[in-house]
Amino acid sequence: MPKNYLSINDISKEELENLLDRSAQLKADLKNGADQSNLLKGKSVGMIFEKPSLRTRISFEVGIRQLGAFPIVLSAQEIMMGGRETRQDVSRVMSQYLDMVMIRTFGHDVVEEFATHSDIPVINGLTDLEHPCQTLADLLTIKEHYGSFEGLKIAYIGDGNNTVRSLMLACTKLGVHISVACPLKFEPGKEFESEFTHVCHGVGTAAEGADVIYTDVWSSMGQEKEAQERKQIFSGYQVNTNLLEEFAKETAIVLHCLPAHRGEEITAEALKDHETTILRQAENRLHTQKAVMLHLLGA
């Protein structure tokens, strides 16, 4: 069976650390003008998008081309996976043409079923359950800023969604403390908790003494009908200047995986004050995607 990256739990602590190191090296090499086009020369990578995308689409496609491989982009309408053709059939057919597949979709069962029948590595580009590719970029950004993870506290404010679930799993592997503040009934899930995670309902409790403050949208893709109700439920879970000044460390950085809804989960002022770090976090998706692809293909 090929090695897949569907969840943070698909990799060991050592592999996680190696992926971050290799991401940093790929980034440095690219900045220094190194030619990386021989690393996956002659390979073909398929990308299936059942959800809209900006950063995932660009970072994967640019990364694939920079590594010398050929990208194939397929939308949900083009293949109608699970409708026109079963996931099993799509997976088996794509395995005959390609060397790897990345899928960005809704249900986590989609990537799991696809991977079960695949003869090539499968990457989870995002599901409703986890967002493991985003987590690598988050961790790389934090490590770049602080030099290491030792002694750091991460605070996540908002919905207990796919982004924070993957981050919690990664923090557990690395021994990094993360505190998550979310409304009642919007917790990430007990299966994502450990001795290094703390889930609470008070933003001040989570943000107290934090080195990193992280947030994400209150309503993710597929939750549009709930958006107005969620605005009321999450109204007290906003990253703003008062939260940062009262609770977080003075030197704390703010992360946001984007897109951002200014005036909801984060104020325009807080986003502007920390845009350099947030944009670096977005850029790092490119370098970490490349590291994942190289790792899965043994390159």
Q: Which residue has the tokens 């390609």?
A: 98
Q: Of the listed 87, 165, 274, 285, which one is catalytic?
A: 285
How many residues comprise the chain?
299
Q: Of the listed 55, 131, 165, 256, which one is catalytic?
A: 131
Beta-strand ranges (E) seen in 127-283 are: 153-157, 177-181, 197-200, 212-215, 253-256
Q: Of the listed 55, 87, 104, 177, which one is catalytic?
A: 104
Distance in angstroms (rounded) separating the CA atoms of residues 49 and 281: 22
Asked if residues 60 and 86 have their Cβ atoms less than 8 Å apart, the reply is no
Which is nearest to 142 in space by CA: 169, 174, 165? 174
Active site annotation includes 171: no
3-state helix, strand, coil in the chain (%, to 5): 45, 15, 35
Distance in angstroms (rounded) separating the CA atoms of residues 34 and 37: 9
Active site annotation includes 131: yes
Q: Of the listed 171, 216, 281, 287, which one is catalytic?
A: 216
Kindly report the number of other CB atoms within 10 A of residue 201's CB atom: 15
Active site annotation includes 200: no
Q: Of the listed 128, 133, 134, 211, which one is catalytic?
A: 134
Q: Of the listed 128, 211, 257, 289, which one is catalytic?
A: 257
Active site annotation includes 289: no
Sign of CA dihedral 228, 261, 157, 112: positive
Which residues are annotated as catalytic? 104, 131, 134, 216, 257, 285
